[in-house]
Amino acid sequence: DAGVIQSPRHEVTEMGQEVTLRCKPISGHDYLFWYRQTMMRGLELLIYFNNNVPIDDSGMPEDRFSAKMPNASFSTLKIQPSEPRDSAVYFCASSHGQGKAFFGQGTRLTVV
């Protein structure tokens, strides 16, 4: 298995633009997590899915953020409109049950 695949690896966008981050979890995993990492706030859980259903989105900072998981092999995190304070590294991770999580390489987002 290729592991968790995220795209793009780097994204630079202008304030106000829509940003879409993509994630392909490991096949067979039933949990998918979206995290945001910054120096100030560390690794924050934004939202997680179980069997494609969003379970807890209490970490999503604002209505500008939305996430979907249309099927077991794909998820998106969308920011619309983006702001400079959204600049961070966004990680997707997947797991089977309450076991260990496998992380993607992350998307480094810069909003200018």
Partner 1 sequence: SQQGEEDPQALSIQEGENATMNCSYKTSINNLQWYRQNSGRGLVHLILIRSNEREKHSGRLRVTLDTSKKSSSLLITASRAADTASYFCATVTNRDDKIIFGKGTRLHILP
List interacting residues with partner 1 (CB under 8 A).
4, 31, 33, 35, 42-43, 45, 48, 50, 55-56, 91, 93, 95, 98-106
- How far is the C-alpha of 102 from the C-alpha of 107, rounded, in Å? 15
Using DSSP bridges, classify how beta strands 19-24 and 31-38 pair: parallel, antiparallel or unpaired: unpaired
Beta strands in 51-112 (DSSP E): 53-56, 65-71, 74-79, 88-95, 101-103, 107-111
Q: How far is the CB of 67 from partner 1 (least distance, A)?
A: 15
Closer residue to partner 1 (CB): 82 or 95: 95
Q: Which of 25, 8, 14, 23 is nearest to 80 (CA)?
A: 14
Q: How far is the CB of 80 from partner 1 (least distance, A)?
A: 25
Closer residue to partner 1 (CB): 36 or 111: 36
Q: How far is the CB of 20 from partner 1 (least distance, A)?
A: 19
Closer residue to partner 1 (CB): 104 or 111: 104
